[in-house]
Amino acid sequence: MTSEFSAAFWESHWEERGNDRALRPHPALETEIADLAPGAALEAGSGEGAEAVWLAERGWKVTAVDLSARALRRAGARFSDRSFAVPIEWLHADLTTWEPIHPFDLVTTFYAHPAMAQDAFYARLSRWVAPGGALLIVGHEEAGRLDAPREAVHSHPSTAVTAPRRILSVLDEGEWTVSTADVRERAVGIPGGGTRMLRDVVVRATRRS
């Protein structure tokens, strides 16, 4: 169990990060999701909302769920001037206990780390994908550079890592078609200027109809 990922942890995390950073959606959305027809989407662990907004701007009906009330308030305030065909539902809830009332055509999660085993969390999210729907998981690579100073890139503990094989292990081969299972490097900015390379796990799978 990873009890360090409590509600108090995430409130502190978002307080420390400040509210003056430029927000950019993760590039995996463009490479993995841009070709899908919009439907109902869940952004699990939505944080300040960059990915949820990217989806909503492309016609998805988005439910954005996060454990941090602070992050959701920021998201609502930051994007209050945006107009979408269907407004984003910003939902304050614990994804380890919350249950959706309907399945989704798309479930996405980017570096979401709950107070439960990471693999069990991914298995839980996968159950919320409708037949024919897609699952996109992006996480920190198991052998990635998470030994950086806390202020450099992320404040996640080193337990917040995964690997494609670990995510695939929770997906029944008879129920899922896997189209992506990669580790990708990308450069991110760090405080004070410059960039640092991160290694992201990217898994996209479609539940068979």
Tens of pLDDT, residue by residue over 124-181, are 999 999 999 999 999 999 764 433 433 333 444 555 678 999 999 999 999 999 999 9
Per-residue pLDDT tens over the stretch 13-27: 665 565 555 578 999
List Cα–Cα distances, 75 to 40, 69, 81, 135, in angstroms. 19, 10, 11, 23
197's tokens: 């390379």
* Residue 197 exposed, middle or buried by CB count within 10 Å (0-12, 13-18, 19+): exposed
pLDDT at 14: 60
pTM of this prediction?
Answer: 0.85
